[in-house]
Amino acid sequence: MQAAKRLDTIHEYYFSQKLRQIEEMNRSGDAVINLGIGSPDLPPHPNVIKVLQEESSKANVHAYQGYKGVKVLRDAMAQWYAKWYGVELNADSEILPLIGSKEGIMHICMTFVNPGDIVLVPNPGYPTYRAAATIAGARVIEYHLSEENNWTPDFNAIEQQIEAAKSEVGALVASPNGGGREGALMWVNYPHMPTGQLPTTEMFEKLIAFANKHDILICHDNPYSFILNEAPMSLLSVDGAKEIAIELNSLSKSHNMAGWRIGVLCGSKENVENVLRFKSNMDSGMFLPVQLAAAKALGLDKEWHDELNSIYKKRRQKVFELLDLLECTYSTEQAGMFVWAKIADDYQNGFELSDKVLSDCRVFITPGGIFGSAGEKYIRVSLCSTEEKFEEAINRIKK
């Protein structure tokens, strides 16, 4: 039996393929230093682990859980948004816990996108936006981000892309309120991955104004706002955003809980209920002790984030040293757990430099081209490794 047609235009995730190659190299010689993937190597707070251990030992916590998450977790998420982002959310109707925010990307596309609808994805950007939209049958349109424009949207160019697409297909596209008006769904992500560009209030306000003008449902993916960033921002802090935008967030990066799979979707009551209609048919609620431990994590104070960021700052300095050796250029003002850098003119693209460093030095860095054509001349280095590993990688490159 053949695979469904919906898979014809998507491929195995790049890192899935690359990890197999790295495993083969590890078996045949020196271990590869993997500086490519953003999986935190540090543990969660000890008190968070303690809650998981204590709650897991109880006899009455192993049953199925509700699809909306327990109230303790939803209340903690609401308090977290109020404390750090200044955003007031109704814990019972405007918050939906997720089994990791990555599943939320799929849920949103399957909830709001009909075959042929327009979905705007950033280039460069997280590949899953395109993959999820494609699986949902969308007509994916890339909007280009550039270093010259500080990796922020060019709204005039996007407007022209939307109008050209509407003229070409002559079909209705996704509408935030399901009213059948012509609109679109647009993925945005700030602090931006892979470039580390921080948002500004002005840019967020322009985004919401643009969405209202063109009937666009904005989907903001916000997992990096606490990493190397003193002023976390939520798109929902902009007046009127809640009615036209959905925001995804996650504990994976901010609390070193990537493998725990804890995310959250926030938005209007109507949008949350629509996503829940889809989600409730796809999965079940999270393990109760995980939810209770997540609530504990969300209550951690600024000291936790300061300690985490002090480690990332030291690691980032090592990455700068490594990039200087490779004659790359970069901004020192990036947020998130990666460093995005432009390659030297000696290389045709980031894939060539990445392959050379992997082959010659047994060090893996991510080619920017996997995030779209606008990333071809760039590479991305993860901060999720020890200072000792970075030093070893530097020495290998020097040799």
Q: What confidence tens digit (pLDDT) does each residue in 193-223 have? A: 999 999 999 999 999 999 999 999 999 999 9
Say if residues 323 and 303 touch (Cβ distance below 8 Å): no
Joined together, the tokens standing for residue 239 give: 């007046």
The structural domains of the chain, with segments of one domain joined by +, span 5-43+302-398, 61-298
Q: What is the pLDDT of residues 171-201, one digit of tens each?
A: 444 444 443 335 689 999 999 999 999 999 9
pLDDT for the residue numbered 171: 44
Q: What is the pLDDT of residue 19?
A: 80
Tokens of residue 152, six digits: 């922020």
Q: Residue 28: what pLDDT?
A: 83
Question: Which of 255, 202, 199, 217 has its CA nearest to residue 49?
Answer: 255
CATH of 61-298, one of 3.40.640.10, 3.90.79.10, 3.40.50.720, 1.10.275.10: 3.40.640.10
Amino acid 22: pLDDT: 86
232 in Cβ contact with 225 (< 8 Å): yes
Confidence at residue 176, expressed as pLDDT on a 0 to 100 scale: 46
Task: Report the alpha-carbon distance of residue 78 to residue 248 in Å, rounded.
Answer: 13
Copy the structure tokens of residue 339: 């460093």
- Residue 20: what pLDDT? 85
Q: Do domains 5-43+302-398 and 61-298 have the same CATH topology?
A: no
pLDDT of residue 27: 87
Residue 85 CB-density burial (10 A; 0-12 exposed, 13-18 middle, 19+ buried): buried
Q: Are 366 and 349 in contact (CB under 8 A)?
A: no
b/e sequence 27-49, b meaning 16+ C-beta within 10 Å = eeeeebbbbbebbbeeebbeebe
How much is the pTM?
Answer: 0.93
Say whether domain 5-43+302-398 belongs to CATH 3.20.20.140: no
Mean pLDDT by 10 residues, the chain (399 residues): 84 77 84 91 98 98 95 98 98 97 96 94 96 94 97 96 78 43 83 97 97 95 97 97 97 97 98 96 94 98 97 98 98 96 96 95 95 97 97 96
Nearest to 9 by CA among 120, 130, 107: 130
Torsion of CA 338, 119, 214, 160, to 10 degrees: 90
For 4-40, how does the pLDDT look when each residue is reduced to its tens digit (9 = 90+)?
A: 888 887 777 777 777 888 888 888 877 999 999 889 9
